[in-house]
Structure 1
């Protein structure tokens, strides 16, 4: 039972990272109606930026982490203004290929640094364990869960209580009507890409104590994308919950099934969800419950 609880905690922690990356996918999709395939590379870039500021520049770890998130968010905004805005009005494949190419450029830039390409690093925080009776938990797992709760609460407050958050919600619902109401749609697109990039960088910082900092850590976005699809690609709470769900299922599958099966689980669930609930698992289940309630 203790082993199962430890595995469950690990699954929740990695699921929180999946959920944050899925949130970044959904934020950008709702605002720009395109899928950004550079989120994993932004995640990796944020972790390496914090590592470089801490180890090379000698910044305190917290200051380096905050500066790295802000820098990656500014990079996301700049890429929208300089490159991605040109894809507006073009076929969706144009923006997808642009984000894929930009991600490859980021990855190549980091790989050009020998220490980054050849070594595995670790950000020195939350490296201890603590015990609750006979149960021993990794501090990094608890830290990831708590940080995710705080980030989700801050994001919810931003969208509910700030003018920029309300404007971004209006823009994501209907950009034309929002523009007629005076919402600066172009600025909201910049904000959405900046928030998406910043969330990816936060996910990279939270992932760093668990999997270390290395060039391939951004591949976790390939598992976070199914979470975004399971949530419906339009639901921020759905993306976060789907990410946690995938993390838990993957961890339990790794405990009970043969090695390697857990890496297939997210995609099997994605295929089932697309077949059963094409509009997204959260939307589909909600509609099914409403129909059942109406029938009764």
Structure 2
């Protein structure tokens, strides 16, 4: 076990916080789909990977300004998510949940293969919208990490306001509670379900655009989605606040775990999930969420 100075601990905390924010964006997409349809999209990590590659296409290969390329990436991801639900997933309505599980796993594999065919199986660099570092005493934070934290906070707040005040957001909540009742109330269930998949893909695209400058864009980066899945389970699958808290917990804990137990590096997220499931199988916030509903 390695002793850490205060400065090192703060550095690891900030790194973990930015990682947890990225996990949160992916997990929010997972939970949105599950709440509305009781389906689990195991290709959510590959949605993030696709968003990173599409951003690489627009920003690097086509030479667009970062923010224009990022905006077009999110438009593309929204259309892609909408199309996946409308053209593929919707045809499995009424089928066992296991069928959608297999479908989304296959979709993830197919997306990795297609991305490799189009862009190659190497590692690619995606520029950050803001270069340099922010120095706070002994702690040095990249602006890319700061941006991931700020964007996640803004997105989570906007999502809260959307579901609380926007008419479509309220309709989506009704859909998540009872699809049949929502249909009889005149809510366009099919269109809203496709819109939720579009939102899920957009969140994946945002995570890909933020993660790309911090790591490298590759066909394997989608596997980070499993850590987001673990975070959603820790927080209570079906609760958006729980997913965010679970992902932040995993993100902050993971760097310390990897430093202190180098032989177990990379499995900290899954050990936390295992321990939470042993102690509280429903997750950290699942019971609170159920009472509110």
Question: Equivalent residue for 2:61?
Answer: 56
Corresponding residue for 1:294? Answer: none
**2: CA distance, partners of 1:29 / 1:244:** 20
Q: 1:127 aligns with which of 118, 123, 131?
A: 131
Contact 2:258-2:268 at 8 Å conserved across structures: no
Correspondence for 2:280 among 257, 277, 280 = 277
Deviation at 1:196, TM superposition (A): 0.7
Q: Structure 1 unaligned segments of length 5 or more: list them.
A: 288-296
User: Where does 1:216-255 land on structure 2 (aligned, <5 Å)?
Assistant: 216-255=220-259
Q: Is the 8 A contact 1:128 1:139 kept in 2?
A: yes
Residues 121, 214 of structure 1: 8 Å contact kept: no
Deviations 1:49-100 (A, max 9, x none): 0111112222111110111111011101101111100111100111111111
Name the CA distance, whole Å, in 2 between partners of 1:182 and 1:88.
19
For residues 165 and 262 of structure 1, the distance between their equivalents in structure 2, rounded to whole angstroms, comes to 40
Q: Distance in 2 between matches of 1:94 and 1:205?
A: 30
User: Distance in 2 between the 1:206 and 1:54 partners?
Assistant: 13
Corresponding residue for residue 72 of structure 2: 67
Of 101, 104, 121, which residue of structure 2 is paired with 1:117?
121
Distance 1:40 1:158 in 2: 24
List 4+ stretches of structure 1 deviating above 6 A: none
Give the Å deviation of 1:183: 1.1
Q: CA deviation at 1:260?
A: 4.4
Counterpart check, 1:153 vs 2:153: no
Match of residue 268 from structure 1: 271
Q: Per-residue deviation at 1:158?
A: 1.1
Partners in 2 of 1:129 and 1:116 — Cα distance?
Answer: 31
SS at match of 2:285: helix
Partners of 1:12 and 1:133 in 2: CA distance: 18
SS in 2 for 1:131: strand
Question: Among residues 41, 44, 47, which one is paired with 2:49 in the alignment?
Answer: 44
Contact residue 77 and residue 190 of structure 1 kept, 8 A: yes
Q: Distance in 1 between matches of 2:182 and 2:144?
A: 42
Structure 2, unmatched stretches of 5+, are: 1-5
TM-score, structure 1 as length reference = 0.92
Does structure 1 retain, via aligned residues, the 8 Å contact 2:237–2:286? no
Q: In the alignment, what sits opposite 2:109?
A: 104
Alpha-carbon contact 1:178-1:185 (below 8 Å) kept: yes
Q: Deviation digits for residues 144-170 of structure 1, max 9, x if unmatched?
A: 100111111111111111111110011
1:198 and 2:198 are equivalent in the alignment: no
Q: Deviations over 1:6-52 (max 9, x none)?
A: 11000000000111111111000011111101111110110110111
Q: Work out whether residues 126 and 209 of structure 1, in 8 Å CA contact, stay in contact via their aligned partners in 2.
A: no
User: Contact 2:60–2:126 (CA<8 Å) still a contact in 1?
Assistant: no
